[in-house]
Structure 1
């Protein structure tokens, strides 16, 4: 649970859409949810008297109170298991009206369980971390510009090509989350991320990053959730695609194979993808004269005289590279 997203790993006797109900009333905020407001240090048990003290100080949110009464879970106790910057994982015992207030004996049993649950969370965290690294490595091998997002909406890994996307200055990682400089676009991005990690598709327009040159499309998709994941494992993947620098050819591979500079390799890749010199110049924020000079250097280094010859060589290298990466 953090200041933007909340996820329930498991809850007994709860409606299937409870997680969305919780988010809809913003119950992850302390000013709404007295349980969040009354949180104490990790492994400390808080209960009804702490809830009452917080509500006397900060007031009672009637929307949340009606929510828990409708679900018959107004009372009980809780504890934070793990807490990081802006997020926490906890365990709670909810009591309804028939159960009444939690007793000292019940809270003692609850406290005895905490170290065992924490050990399970840490073990799952280690397993999920290994899985994240394997997935990131696979995406890197395919030279995909991508970020992996965990169950709390945080960026848990990204590929080397994604670093090039961040270097453009229009997207950044702040407080562990991918954010956009353009406020309106950031709101759409956060909505898409929230829907993906909740595995609840929401109709969205295409996410083209404003002012990006070349044009940059952001795609946000959910990943399959494994049973008993506590939110550390990737829950969504964000990929970045450009029609001018797509997945067909990699300028770095062409540069290495043909003895070009990286800039020349990128130009050669764009030529092979059918872009004219004006489009290449616009995409690279340079002049047509500079592109023409780079093309002369590329022709000389590759021993070709026409663009068609360069395209044939580049496409052949691209095919060889893809074959080498395929299992």
Structure 2
């Protein structure tokens, strides 16, 4: 489950970069928690600046907001969390405990109509009389939340908060603070212009520079191996011509260096702003994100077959040859033959060498 939460956190992080991804991330949160709907909502005095819910039409949401306006005398959920700090989880018992405001009957009718009466929620951010909330909305079929669901929601909320803070920084605080904002994501990220000039980096990205996995020459972000360097430069040029979407590169390095998987995307242009329009993010996959792509990376970088990639990953985790054979329902001799081929392709001679080469990255 921890890996699923981290994967969801990365969906939130990418949604902060590409706002069109928010509904998909909220839907994924709902599915992970056995709920029908995920919701991210903003409240300000007398208004609801935004209200994003997966799989409910924009017009329906707009009508809902128009009637209740985030008023705690109408909306029992706002009433329940009004005085909370961030990450306090409120749910059905709290909705009942705070009592009914003067407009509660209207709110109940609306929730019944959309089948979203049950669920849980928390504040993510608050300031200046405004706050941003995250919620699960559950249908009659879903039923009320239980302790396990609320605990899972509580584990998800900090990831959503990081993404919200990142998006707010991208939208409102200007390019000079982007690198600091991206630290919330916890990934190695370089910020460049379309020509590849380095404008900033997160702490984890700076560590890659110190380790020599990336380099900066004449102010431009580059890579030690000419092949990788050329691929990165071409990717920058493509992001200039095709600003939408994310491009993924496999950077193979040299010798026994493990390859890196890198996502490159252009920050979206925003109405009436020029400062973010020409900036590109270079996001280096690491940890769990790398591991998800590990079989494909090992195949592409070293020519391993799908079966050899699986055996390699098992060896990296310390699984014995007999255990690998049993799990794959094959003979130990077949596994030994595969390992011989793996050693040849990776340029190692012992399992210890292979484990050292793959490192902690593949054992997560």
TM range (shorter): 0.3 to 0.5
Larger Rg belongs to: 1
TM-score (norm 1): 0.39
Structure (1 or 2) with the greater helix fraction:
2
